[in-house]
Amino acid sequence: MITDILIGILIFAKIFCLCSASFFIFRKQGNSFAESAAYAIITIFMLLSFIHQISFITGYSIISNGVEIFFLVGSIFLIFRHRTQIFNLVNTLKKFGTENPISFSFLGVSLVYMAIHGLLPVPKEFQNDLYTIALYEKGGFSSLAADANFPGFFPVNHLILFNTFLRSGSNAGAGIFCFLAYLSIGFSTYALARRYSWQTTSFTTAILVMSMPRLVVQAIYPNTQIISVAVTLFCILAVYRCVELPNLTDLILLILGLFFSISENISSMIFGPILLVLSWVILFRRHGTLTWKSILVKNPYALFAIVPAAIFSQSWLFLSNHFNKSDWPGIFSAISFNPDGIQGALANSIRYLFEGLNFAAPMELFFDKIFKWSMAENLQSLYDVSVIPFLGKSGAIQVFHLTWHPLGMFSFGPVGFFLVIPALVYAMAKGTRRLKSIAISFFVYFYLISLILAWAPGNEKFFEIFYVCSGFSIAFFFPPWRFTKTKQKIFQAAGCLLLFLTLLAAL
């Protein structure tokens, strides 16, 4: 086990070097600290995924090994070249920490703990997913595509990242990808919040989003869901940067990000088209077609992005399933659909709101120990009295039962219900046209999930994109003239407390 952890640490060091070099590149281009960090993590995810997918398609693992070594050497060179900036970055963090000393220190300690946890061997719950990618790697694309007994491929954009650790013969450290995705979400939230508030308010917003119980658990237990969320938020950040200053880099990253968001998680397949339409509306309404056409014409080497875009689209996998697997049921085969139309959508919406109001395991344990009071039981009683007589089981495949379990941590806590939803409503009423469009897109996603999918236990996973990716709107919701330093500290303390309780309950 110690050997496996040491291997995991070495691989993490390699990924850290790649991300650091990417960070310096984006900083040199004028991106802010938070933007550079968020971009660096996701672009390295895309780079590693592209390399491994090319290796999987061709069947030559030496390709991924050789290319990774090439980029690692280049990263070390770049880090050495920009070594003088490291001290400036440390000073920036120190300056930021002095303005928020307690919450900044607490968040730092929590992140260190989560990073260490990410280096541990993968728990059994994720073994099946790792077995899938290990099977893909061992069997090879051509052989599996022609194998009549093989059921079919699922999107591998995010899952194949874990092959970075698996090919070393150990899965220890694979959780680092989830931890880095968690960091990317925090940086992206802060960067987007800065569009609508000052530094301290943006930092408060980032802490509140990062304290959502389900997100915290996703960050310390390996999965691909949090990676999908991080990529989606990356795309929203890229949209903002494209609108503010049209340029080729952000446009290419946005296009690649939209394709890279495709994964085995159904939520990304549903929100992806919404995000595509949203990007199109915002970019072309603000700058028109000629601006983007001019940028692409002046930079013909942008055509090289077609190759990774085609790989990330997963069209090669879907086409292989279509031509070689006549009975392939499709990616939605394991999903139960809502049989009751709009009435079922209304019932499902109410159920999801009740689940959103539930404070999840850490808060439930706290109230039960201190006050002998259960949020889940009281919400269940309210639902039984107010909803069942009118809507019954419409839209559900089984009886709705609101509960919690320490391993699931399914709720998004008080932040999701009491801050994110009101913030989106407020953005629709008072926000700029850009923010209104984004808020509308998230509510459209909420409605589509309620309309298309039948309610079932565990469906809360579809709402990570809704609650987390729209969390930056909280910064617009906090009124700057009434959100005093005292209130900021109170909200920061509340977020840190929820983060602590979640980590404690997840042990």
- Give the separation between CA 385 and CA 392, rounded to whole angstroms: 11
Q: What pLDDT score was predicted for residue 360?
A: 57
Q: Convert the pLDDT of each residue in 40-84 to its tens digit.
A: 999 999 999 999 999 999 888 788 888 999 999 999 999 999 888
The answer to whether the pTM exceeds 0.85 is yes
Q: What pLDDT score was predicted for residue 406?
A: 45
| Residues pairing with 297 in the sheet | none
- Give the separation between CA 239 and CA 283, rounded to whole angstroms: 7
Q: Are 244 and 251 in contact (CB under 8 A)?
A: no
- SS3 string of 234-296? HHHHHHHHHHHCCCHHHHHHHHHHHHHCCCCCHHHHHHHHHHHHHHHHHHHHHHHHHHHHHHH
Q: What pLDDT score was predicted for residue 148?
A: 77
503 is written with which tokens? 């980590």
Q: Are 197 and 206 in contact (CB under 8 A)?
A: no
Mark residue 456 as left, alpha or beta (left: phi above 0; alpha: psi -120 to 50; beta: remaining). beta
Q: What pLDDT score was predicted for residue 365?
A: 65
Q: How many residues does the chain have?
A: 507
Per DSSP, the chain holds a count of helices (H) and strands (E) of: 26, 0
For residue 350, give the nearest of 310, 315, 394, 314 by alpha carbon. 394
Mark residue 164 as left, alpha or beta (left: phi above 0; alpha: psi -120 to 50; beta: remaining). alpha
- SS3 string of 115-148? HHHHCCCCCHHHHHHHHHHHHHHHHCHHHHHHCC
- Residues of the chain short of pLDDT 50, as ranges, are 405-409
Q: Convert the pLDDT of each residue in 351-373 to its tens digit.
A: 998 888 765 555 666 666 666 66
- Give the separation between CA 186 and CA 141, rounded to whole angstroms: 36
